[in-house]
Chain A
Amino acid sequence: MEELWLQAVSILAATLRTATPLVFCAMAGMFSERSGIIDIGLEGKMLAGAFAAACLAVVTGSAWLALLGAVLVGVLMALLHGLACITYRGNQVVSGVAINIMAAGLTVVLGNAWFGRGGQTPDLAPEARFMPFKILSRESAYEIPILGPLYAFVIGGHNLLVYVAFATVPVAWWVLYHTRFGLRLRAVGEDPKVVDTAGISVAWLRYRAVIIAGLLCGFAGAYLAIAQNAGFSPHMTAGRGFIALAAMVFGKWRPWPAMFACLLFGLLDAIAIRLQGVILPGIGQVPVEAIQALPYILTVVLLAGFVGRAMAPHALGQPYVKER
């Protein structure tokens, strides 16, 4: 029984770790899309942020400067997206795909030119990373039954950015539903004409939304490169930006449901890792392939069967043209 509980605790802790970049990106996507700008480029912004964080951590040795750099690069990429989609009214999906491809290529090329390690950055020292807080040692945690491990590994024992990620959710909820900016942001995603008639700049509102998205993607990238791992490796985001996008749609563009969707994806991933090689009673050993497909199968099933109609912001993907 105790063994089982420790397993559950370990899965929960892994869930939080794997869900963290998803939560950042899902919130980023939510701000952008609630303002009417489709954000396929979450993946690219996160990757560029991860690369910037790793490079700055190598050069400066400071995790905080690295985080700042990641956020700046994320915002710059977001401004590029904004320039194409808001100012020049380009196709938002095409611009997002371009950002993804650009980030995937540039990070490897620049990494190779600067460090000459096939796109990887040198390994980082602990001072240049966000390390987990150790609030209880493993031994003393086991001494307190049930609650000890839960406190030590699920509530505590993570790095700073994990807590920041989960703190962004209530903040995003508050901004979106309880501030004037949030109200206008939601309005501009539903019907920009109304906002414009009220004398508020549609472009500036949307720019602010994509800047917030870029900032949050920068956090996600920094988490991957200097908190969860110790350095950048090519294509290290491995599709997490798209999973986050799916989680956001899954959560119907709302902060709390989106966060729970991210946690569900994280949980499935954590379970998939631990199910490998385990012999299940009555089934036998489950093939690795089947376990790895599990999160995706469940996504399709849940999207098709349980979520119902996904209600996107009404003006999503439409560039706003002011009537003359």
Chain B
Amino acid sequence: MIDLGVPYSQIILAAEQTLYMVFISLAIGTVIALILSVVLVLTNPSGILKNNIIYSLVNTVVNIIRSIPFIILMVFILPLTKMIVGTRVGTTAALVPLVIFIAPYLTRLFENSILEVNKGIIEAAQAMGASHFEIVWYFILPEARGSLILSVTTGTIGLIGATAMAGAIGAGGVGDLALTYGYERLNFPLMLFTVIVLIIFVQIIQSVGNYFSAKVRGH
């Protein structure tokens, strides 16, 4: 075993923190994004529930949040974080800005995935007497599934990048390990190691995403 200058337990803890932050915020963000993207598609000017007010509102909020860099967003919403999880620092505290960061991002990706669904399918659904909920549930979401999975994959990889910055509020994680021990202590082997770990994370996530997306579209 090579000496990385930090105990292995610390590396494992950092990996766990990263996975924890990524998957919890991803799960919450995905649910929020699904709802918002469906709202956007239904209420857009050519949607089946065209509604300018709701569409503009959601669209604007998504755009505003998307235009704030994550590191600034994180410190900007500290009071909100404190309100929601009771603390401003630590891994759990990082979940709040991560969700707020990833939800609008996924919303945009999902919106595109859903817009790819053939309009004729929605027309067929209407002709069958489907309700608006049924159109979303039985027609739009199943048809968009393959594309939605790829969107989640892209979102997840974006999240890993964001978690590296969460170290700024003491959230830990692989990125933080690389910065505080690798960069600040000039520990190049550790830096290299974390970079490799992150590359492996991303590769695995992308492969899993591709696999499932191909599986649901593979006919």
Do A and B assemble together? no
Instruction: Spell out A's residues near B (CB within 8 Å).
Output: none
